Amino acid sequence: MARMFRRDFSATKPSLVERMDIWLSKGHVVDGIWVGSFPSDAKRAIQRIEEALRLIERSSPLHYRRIKNNLARIWVHLVPHGAGCYLHSLNACLLDERIVASETTTVEWIASAIVHEATHARLEKLGIRYDEAVRQRIERICARRELDFARHLSGVDALLEEITWRLDRCSEENASYTDQNMWEKTNQGGDTPSSGNARMGHNSNA
Which pLDDT score is estimated for 85? 93
Instruction: Provide the pLDDT confidence category of residue 80 given band limits of 50, 70 and 90.
Output: confident
Per-residue pLDDT, averaged over 64-93, amounts to 94
Helix, strand, or coil here: 128?
coil
Q: Which residue has the higher pLDDT, 82 or 196?
A: 82
Q: What percent of the chain has pLDDT over 90?
A: 67
Dump pLDDT digits (tens) for 14-24. Answer: 889 999 999 99
SS3 content of the chain, % helix, strand, coil (to 5): 55, 15, 35
Contact 93, 84 (CB under 8 A): yes
Q: Which residue has the higher pLDDT, 184 or 61?
A: 61
CA distance 104 to 74: 20
CA distance 58 to 86: 24
Which pLDDT score is estimated for 13? 84
Contact 149, 112 (CB under 8 A): yes
Which pLDDT score is estimated for 56? 98
What is the Cα gyration radius of the chain?
Answer: 15
40-44, 73-77, 84-88, 196-200 — which is least confidently predicted? 196-200
Tell me the pairing of strands 73-77 and 92-96. Answer: parallel
Dump pLDDT digits (tens) for 1-51. Answer: 333 333 444 457 888 999 999 999 999 999 999 999 997 789 999 999 999
Helix, strand, or coil here: 71?
coil
Dump pLDDT digits (tens) for 122-152. Answer: 999 999 988 888 999 999 999 999 999 999 9
Contact 95, 37 (CB under 8 A): no
- Highest-pLDDT range among 31-40, 73-82, 113-122: 113-122
